[in-house]
Amino acid sequence: MSEAPLQQAVVREAARWYIRLHEAAPEDAQRKRFEQWRSQHPDHERAWQLAQRVSGQWQGIPDGVGLRTLDRADRLSRRDGLKALMLLMTAGAATWVVGRHDGWSADERTAVGEQRQIDLADGTRLNLNTDSAVDIAFDDHQRLIRLRSGEVLVTTGQDPLNRPLRVETVHGNVYPIGTRFSVRLEDDDSLVTVYGGAVDICPTGQTDATRLNVGNQARFDSLEVMTAQPLIPDSDGWSLGVLRVELMPLSTFTRELSRYRPGWVRCDPQIADLLITGAFQLRDTDLILSAVARALPVSVVYRTRYWVTLQPRSA
């Protein structure tokens, strides 16, 4: 059963606590009051988790909500920052709490910046990427992995009962054929990448499947499978805690890095087209930002730990 939407008063209070605790190091007394508030009611904990999720996953914002505020986030005052977070939490609460982005009640999930390996009873191995959630449903007739948010890398096992395996997203189903593949759920579509074997992709609005072979990736929504493209080399490096990129525009790199870091990382449009290549250890995103500043003519400006801007380096 889905949880009821949070009351706006609780959402506002969680937003206030988030701003208080992250604008400066909290004193022990303030931290104690926060922990008391957090434990007073289950909805307080849900609202706090929502505040953390919203701050760490800006890409989930509904179209048109708060975008002008976020565009100038590096100039926000405390009051404006509180308004922005409250707006995003209130607007997104129903979606994140009871919608498809919600992972709190999922069978398995990861936090922002976490990767985790899960070995299933049939020998299938799952690697969950940052901020991801899956449900796992095995019965006498099927093996179902439902991706509720984020990204999963699947290495299929040999099921002694020969039950078919499928990965389901809100856009459709992916049927592996003795393979290693990943599925990434995004707002408008799902991305499938095949590292071994092949998969069949069947959008919810179709009855026929599309075959995707090893070395390729393709996006699909509920109506169609888009044209296959060659996979990006080492794009599964995240499963080993490494983000590998080659000649990637800095704006794209910044968006990708934001998936692994709580808060928001902004790239100034003046440096958006700079290209970056390298292998970066995801366990320390501050170190990654420092490496970017050494490799490119950019500066990393921290308004807070959670609001970071890459901007042109001053002469």
pLDDT band, very low/low/confident/very high, at 16 (cuts 50, 70, 90):
confident
Give percent of the chain above pLDDT 90. 53
The predicted structure's pLDDT at residue 304: 79
Check pLDDT > 50 for residue 108. Answer: yes
Interatomic CA distance for residues 147 and 54, integer angstroms:
19
Nearest Cα residue to 106 out of 174, 63, 152, 140: 152
Whole-model pTM: value is 0.69
Check pLDDT > 60 for residue 202. Answer: yes
| Beta strand segments in 84-209, E | 108-109, 116-119, 125-128, 133-138, 143-149, 151-155, 165-169, 172-185, 190-203
Determine which helix (DSSP H) or strand (DSSP E) holds 219, and give its type and residue range: strand 216-220
pLDDT band, very low/low/confident/very high, at 265 (cuts 50, 70, 90):
confident
When the pLDDT of each residue in the chain is averaged and rounded to a whole number, the result is: 82
In whole angstroms, what separates CA 289 from the centre of its chain?
A: 19
The predicted structure's pLDDT at residue 281: 95
Nearest Cα residue to 14 out of 41, 49, 39, 40: 49
Check pLDDT > 50 for residue 122. Answer: yes
Q: What is the pLDDT of residues 214-233, one digit of tens each?
A: 999 999 999 999 999 999 88
**For the chain, which domains are there?**
8-98 (no CATH), 108-230 (2.60.120.1440), 241-312 (3.55.50.30)
The predicted structure's pLDDT at residue 187: 81
State the average pLDDT over residues 122-126: 94
Give percent of the chain above pLDDT 70. 79
Check pLDDT > 70 for residue 93. Answer: no
Q: What is the pLDDT of residues 179-198, one digit of tens each?
A: 999 999 998 899 999 999 99
Q: What is the pLDDT of residues 17-75, one digit of tens each?
A: 877 776 666 677 777 888 888 878 878 877 877 777 666 544 343 333 333 333 444 44
The predicted structure's pLDDT at residue 34: 82
Cβ-based neighbour number of residue 24 at 10 Å: 9
Check pLDDT > 50 for residue 97. Answer: no
